[in-house]
Amino acid sequence: MLRVLADALGLIGSGLLPRRQGLLRNGPRRWAVNLGLALILPWVLLYYWLGLWLDELFFRGYRRVAVQQPVFILGVPRSGTTALHEALAEDHQFTTQRTWECLLAPSITHRHLWRGLARADRRLGRPLRRLAGWLNRRWLAPLTDAHPMSLHAPEEDYLSLLPQLSAFILVVAFPDSDRLWRLGRGDIALADDERRRLMGQYRRVIQRHLYFHGTERTYLAKNASHATLAASLLEAFPDARVVACLRDPAEVVSSQLSSLGPGLRALQGPIHQDELTRRMLAQLQFGYRNLLSVLPARAGDRSVFLPLGAQRQGLAEAIREVYAHLGLPLGTAFAERLDALDARARTHRSGHRHDLADYGLDDEQVAADFADIRSAFDFAATVVTPAGRQTPLAHRLRVVVVSDAAPQRNGVGTYYSDLVAHLDTRVAAIRLIANGSEGASIPHWHETALPGDATQRIALPSPGALRRIIADAAPEVIIVATPGPYGVLAGLMARRLGARLIFGLHTDYEALAGLYWGRLRGALNRLAMRGINRILFRRAGVVVSNSAHMHQLAREKGAHHAIRVNTPIPRDFLEAPLAPLQIPPRRVLFVGRLAAEKRVESVIEAAESQPGLDFRIAGDGPLRGEVEAAAARLGNLEYVGWLDRGRLLGMLDDSDLLVLPSQVEAFGTVALEAMVRGRLTLVSPGCGITDWPELADGLLVMDGRQTVATALGEVLARSPDELEARARAARACSARMARQCIDEWMALIQP
Q: What is the CATH number of the domain that holds 471?
A: 3.40.50.2000
Total of domains in the chain = 3
Q: Judge whether 751 lies within some domain.
A: no
Asked whether residue 648 is domain-assigned, the answer is yes
Residue 271 per-residue DSSP state:
B
Q: How confident is the model at residue 51 (pLDDT cuts 50, 70, 90)?
A: very high
Name the pLDDT band for 146 (thresholds 50, 70, 90): very low
- Assess whether 121 and 243 both reside in one domain: yes
The verdict on residue 748 lying in a domain is no
Cα Rg, the chain, nearest whole Å:
31
In 3D space, the residue among 504, 563, 560, 551 whose CA is nearest the CA of residue 194 turns out to be 560
Is pLDDT of 355 > 90? no
Top pLDDT among 62 and 444 is at 62
376 and 293 share one domain = yes
Statement to judge: residues 690 and 716 lie in one domain = yes
For position 14, what pLDDT does the model report?
84
In this predicted structure, the answer to whether residue 401 has a pLDDT above a threshold of 90 is yes
Burial class for 563, CB neighbours closer than 10 Å (0-12, 13-18, 19+): middle
* Residues 22 and 157 placed together within one structural domain of the fold: yes
Q: Which residues contact 632 (CB under 8 A, 6 or more apart)?
A: none
Q: Could you report the per-residue pLDDT of 659-687, keeping only the tens digit for each? A: 999 987 878 889 999 999 999 999 999 88
Same domain, yes or no: 557 and 599? no
Q: Indicate whether 172 and 28 sit together in one domain.
A: yes
Q: Looking at the structure, tell me whether residues 428 and 321 fall in a common domain.
A: no
- DSSP calls for 317-384: HHHHHHHHHHT----HHHHHHHHHHHHHHHH--------GGGGT--HHHHHHHTHHHHHHS-TT--S-
Domain boundary among 524, 539, 565: 565
Q: Out of 22-26, 101-105, 728-732, which region has the weakest mean confidence (pLDDT)?
A: 22-26
Q: From 565, 582, 611, give the residue that closes a domain.
A: 565
Residue 5 confidence (pLDDT) above 70: yes
> Could you tell me if residue 167 is inside a domain?
yes
750 within domain boundaries: no
CA dihedral 421, 422, 427, 432 (to 10 degrees): -30
pLDDT at 183 over 50: yes
List Cβ neighbours of 482 (8 Å cut-off, separation of 6 or more): 403, 404, 405, 412, 504, 506, 507
| 608 and 516 assigned to the same domain | no
pLDDT at 467 over 90: no
Most confident of 124-138, 188-202, 251-265: 188-202
Whether the pLDDT of residue 483 is over 90: the answer is no
The mean per-residue pLDDT over the stretch 358-381 comes to 86
Number of residues that this document lists for the chain: 751
pTM, whole model, 2 decimals? 0.72
How far, in whole angstroms, is CA 526 from its chain's centroid?
29
Domain boundary among 532, 565, 598: 565
Instruction: Provide, rounded to the nearest whole percent, the portion of the chain with pLDDT above 90.
Output: 42
What is the distance between the alpha carbons of residues 400 and 403, in angstroms, rounded to a whole number? 10
Same domain? For 384 and 405 the reply is no
Q: Is 105 domain-assigned?
A: yes
> Residue 547 and residue 506: Cα distance in Å, rounded?
8
Residue 749 lies inside a defined structural domain of this protein = no
Confidence of residue 233 (pLDDT cuts 50, 70, 90): very high
pLDDT tens digits along 69-92: 999 999 988 888 998 999 999 999
Taking all residues of the chain, what is their mean pLDDT, rounded to a whole number? 86
CATH code at 169? 3.40.50.300
- Within this chain, do residues 450 and 481 fall inside the same structural domain, yes or no? yes
User: What pLDDT is attached to residue 456?
Assistant: 65
Its domain, for residue 663, covers: 571-743
284 falls within a domain: yes
pLDDT value of position 527: 72
272 vs 52, which has greater pLDDT?
A: 52
Q: Are residues 589 and 670 in the same domain?
A: yes
- pLDDT of 454 strictly over 60: no
Note whether 593 and 527 are same-domain residues: no
